[in-house]
């Protein structure tokens, strides 16, 4: 019996722990800092012998289908002298990367359909994917060291041309957005249709104010439902544990009582006993006190 109760305790704990750890993982999945770190490390592993000045498209594991990244390694001097143009990004000359190193690498990110998983602007709708431009330190032997660099831009800013803009209402003007490392969101007007200026490295996109519509209400209802279900599951697990503890307590108390009764009965007269269910019931033997006849004169 004791073993069984312990088993149940163990099983319950395992269930609770698994449940809690899955919650923690779920909240960790869409952390954009860890995404940057993952992409950087992956890019470093993907290219064996990188050539300086060459652009590489990095293919990602299947679970990241939809994200595009490219990388280039440069001599810091040539970056400062010439700037660098690649795909939708135009970095002018005279941009100073910090800390000061001989080599650097630039990671270009297009988060594609993953954008809204990692970044969000409350009350605004993203019209384009989130684009990232992130400089890292580099060395002769490794493509990227994954130590982030800052860009000091005093002259012309970086320009980002956003392609694949989602259709939007004609009477609203889209706005550029910069996502800060601290989770902040900064707005800035476009300089040309779908062209944003960037005064630092980081992640950018284009948004319009969200108009209240049915779809939004639907998605809000959906979110509410998810929390409701989560709360329900937590309550259920809590209740399960509570009931289990109660059962254990009741069993232990019961067993103690029975043991006490047994001990008492053993100390007292040695009754013969029989069982009814789990309870020992004493009964007096018929033969305990033999009837003694007064005299031997038995009528035959
Ligand atoms: C990377 O892929 C894009 C298309 O996704 C293509 O336009 C570009 O030329 C490729 N770059 C390199 C260096 O292969
Ligand atoms: C994708 O798979 C890689 C391993 O291939 C893993 O490190 C990463 O956490 C996974 N990411 C997601 C979002 O599932
Ligand atoms: C993005 O789209 C690709 C197919 O193009 C799909 O495999 C992937 O699951 C999508 N990712 C998300 C987060 O929706
Ligand atoms: C990048 O493009 C701009 C024009 O968009 C041009 O003036 C500049 O010379 C180009 N830089 C390089 C390094 O090709
Ligand atoms: C979004 O809009 C709602 C009302 O329309 C407002 O209560 C809320 O504060 C806004 N959120 C932000 C981050 O501005």
> What's the mean pLDDT in 39-55?
91
Domain 31-210: give its CATH code.
2.60.220.50
pLDDT higher than 80, residue 182 = yes
Q: Which residues' Cβ are closer than 6 Å to ligand 3? A: 65-66, 113-114, 117
| Residues 67, 132 contacting (CB under 8 angstroms) | no
What is the C-alpha separation between 196 and 178, in angstroms, rounded? 10
Q: How far is the CA of 69 from the centre of ligand 3 (A)?
A: 15
Q: Of 72-86, 119-133, 164-178, 185-199, which range is least confident?
A: 164-178
pLDDT higher than 60, residue 300 = no
> What is the pLDDT confidence band of residue 295, given thresholds at 50, 70 and 90?
low
From residue 90, give the alpha-carbon distance in Å to each of 50, 130, 199: 22, 16, 12
The tokens for 216 are 């939004």
The reported pTM is: 0.68
What residues form DSSP beta bridges with 108? 70, 133
- For residue 8, the tally of other CB atoms under 10 A from its CB is 13
| Residues 150, 210 contacting (CB under 8 angstroms) | no
> What's the mean pLDDT in 44-62?
92
Determine the atom of ligand 4 nearest the C-alpha atom of 85.
1
What is the C-alpha separation between 16 and 237, in angstroms, rounded? 7
Q: Which residues' Cβ are closer than 6 Å to ligand 5? A: 122-123
pLDDT higher than 50, residue 226 = yes
Chain Cα centroid distance, residue 83 = 38
Kindly report the protein residue whose alpha carbon is nearest to atom 5 of ligand 5: 123
Q: What is the pLDDT of residues 15-44, one digit of tens each?
A: 665 666 555 545 446 889 999 999 999 999
What is the C-alpha separation between 180 and 158, in angstroms, rounded? 16
What is the C-alpha separation between 207 and 210, in angstroms, rounded? 9
Cis peptide bond N-terminal to 263, omega within 30: no
Determine the atom of ligand 4 nearest the C-alpha atom of 83.
13
62 Cβ closer than 6 Å to some ligand 2 atom: no
- For residue 16, the tally of other CB atoms under 10 A from its CB is 14
**Tell me, what DSSP letter sits at residue 62?**
G
In this predicted structure, what is the pLDDT of residue 197? 96
Give the chain's mean pLDDT: 82
83 Cβ closer than 6 Å to some ligand 4 atom: yes
Kindly report the protein residue whose alpha carbon is nearest to atom 13 of ligand 4: 84
Q: What is the pLDDT of residues 93-118, one digit of tens each?
A: 999 999 999 999 999 999 999 999 99
Give me the helices (H) in the chain, please: 2-28, 32-46, 76-82, 115-118, 214-267
Q: How far is the CA of 45 from the centre of ligand 2 (A)?
A: 15
The closest of 211, 186, 60, 203 to 119, measured between CA atoms, is 203
Determine the atom of ligand 3 nearest the C-alpha atom of 112.
1
Q: How far is the CA of 272 from the centre of ligand 4 (A)?
A: 105
| Residues 206, 128 contacting (CB under 8 angstroms) | yes
């Amino acid at each position: 019996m004791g073993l069984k109760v312990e088993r149940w305790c163990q099983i319950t704990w395992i269930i609770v722990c698994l449940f809690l750890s899955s919650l923690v993982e779920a909240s960790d999945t869409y952390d954009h800092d860890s995404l940057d770190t993952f992409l950087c490390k992956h890019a470093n592993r993907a290219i064996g012998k990188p050539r300086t000045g060459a652009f590489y498209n990095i293919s990602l594991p299947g679970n990241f289908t939809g994200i595009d990244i490219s990388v280039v390694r440069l001599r810091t001097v040539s970056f400062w002298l010439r700037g660098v143009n690649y795909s939708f990004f135009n970095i002018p000359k005279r941009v100073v990367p910090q800390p000061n190193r001989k080599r650097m690498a630039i990671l270009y990110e297009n988060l594609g359909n993953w954008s809204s998983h990692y970044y969000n602007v409350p009350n605004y709708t993203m019209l384009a994917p989130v684009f990232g431009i992130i400089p890292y330190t580099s060395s002769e032997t490794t493509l990227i060291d994954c130590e982030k660099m800052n860009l000091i831009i005093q002259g012309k800013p970086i320009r980002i041309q956003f392609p694949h803009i989602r259709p939007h209402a004609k009477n609203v003007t889209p706005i550029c957005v910069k996502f800060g490392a601290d989770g902040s969101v900064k707005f800035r007007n476009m300089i040309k249709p779908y062209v944003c200026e960037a005064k630092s490295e980081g992640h950018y996109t284009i948004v319009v104010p969200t108009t209240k519509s049915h779809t939004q209400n639907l998605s809000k209802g959906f979110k509410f439902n998810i929390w409701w279900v989560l709360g329900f599951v937590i309550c259920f697990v809590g209740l399960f544990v509570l009931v289990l503890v109660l059962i254990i307590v009741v069993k232990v108390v019961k067993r103690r009582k029975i043991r006490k009764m047994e001990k008492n009965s053993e100390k007292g007269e040695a009754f013969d006993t029989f069982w009814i269910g789990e309870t020992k019931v004493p009964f007096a033997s018929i033969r305990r006190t033999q009837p003694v006849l007064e005299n031997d004169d038995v009528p035959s």
